[in-house]
Structure 1
Amino acid sequence: MFKGLGQMGDMAKMMKAAKDMQTKMADLQNDLETMTVVGESGAGLVRATATAKGELKGLEIDPSIFDPNEKEVVEDLILAAIKDAQQKAAERSQQEMSRLTESLGLPADMKLPF
């Protein structure tokens, strides 16, 4: 008569697991805002610092590259450093997401909504 009650327990476990996952994902989002990566170009002459979410936070330029005749080179180095930082941010974010999904027992390559 009460055969289906066992499935209610499974549903409660699933709901709890979903809530735990939601909490861990929110925590990860907050962590990604504070994790930083550094992109470089010109053998470190230009360094761009970004959060793991890709938000640019800082830019360091070695003064030795400031030559008015080399303006385009400097601009290219700046763009290259920013792109490198953004790429590293995307990779770091993916690494952290993979670690989260694995800890939850999900496939590492599962795409979650961010």
Structure 2
Amino acid sequence: MFKGLGQMGDMAKMMKAAKEMQERMANLQEEMKAMTVTGEAGGGLVTAVCTLKGELTSLDIDPSIFSGDDKEVVEDLILAGIKEAQAKAQDAAQKEMQKLTEEMGLPADMKLPF
């Protein structure tokens, strides 16, 4: 279609590739809102679930940890569970973005924005 146009044809190919990448990025962003990871603390006494975008979607606390004397321990376990889930979410999101860059033929170390 662009034969004989020289650099104009190359520019058209680049624009098409950029548009395709933008569409795939948008799709991945939407998919990451639905993908989840789970973080645990205290041997499973506290379980937190986050989306790959880092949004906390659920928190499960084993009732056995509720005691008036252990308030600080419970708070620490809850915080630890949430932090673990968020760290896993960030790691999984980076892996998804890396897969996308590889599929697009981009350099493996290229950082795409979230």
Shorter-chain TM-score range: over 0.9
1:50-61 counterparts in 2 under 5 A?
50-61=50-61
Deviation at 1:10, TM superposition (A): 1.0
SS of corresponding position for 1:5: coil
Deviation digits for residues 59-114 of structure 1 (CA, Å, limit 9, x no counterpart): 00011111111110000000000000110010010000000000000112211122
Partner of 1:85 in structure 2?
85
Aligned-residue identity in percent:
68
The gaps in structure 2 that reach 5 residues or longer are none
Question: Partner of 1:64 in structure 2?
Answer: 64
Q: Distance in 2 between matches of 1:82 and 1:69?
A: 22
The letter of the residue matching 1:44 is G
Aligned to 1:47: 47
**How far apart, CA to CA, are the structure 2 residues paired with 1:60 and 1:13?**
50
TM-score (norm 2): 0.94
CA distance in 1 between partners of 2:108 and 2:24 (Å): 15
Partner of 1:20 in structure 2?
20
TM-score normalized by the length of structure 1: 0.94
Superposition map of 1:102-113 within 5 A: 102-113=102-113
- Matched residue type, 1:88: K
The count of residues paired between Structure 1 and Structure 2 equals: 111
> Which contiguous aligned blocks of 4+ residues in structure 1 show a shift greater than 3 angstroms?
none
1:36 correspondence with 2:56: no
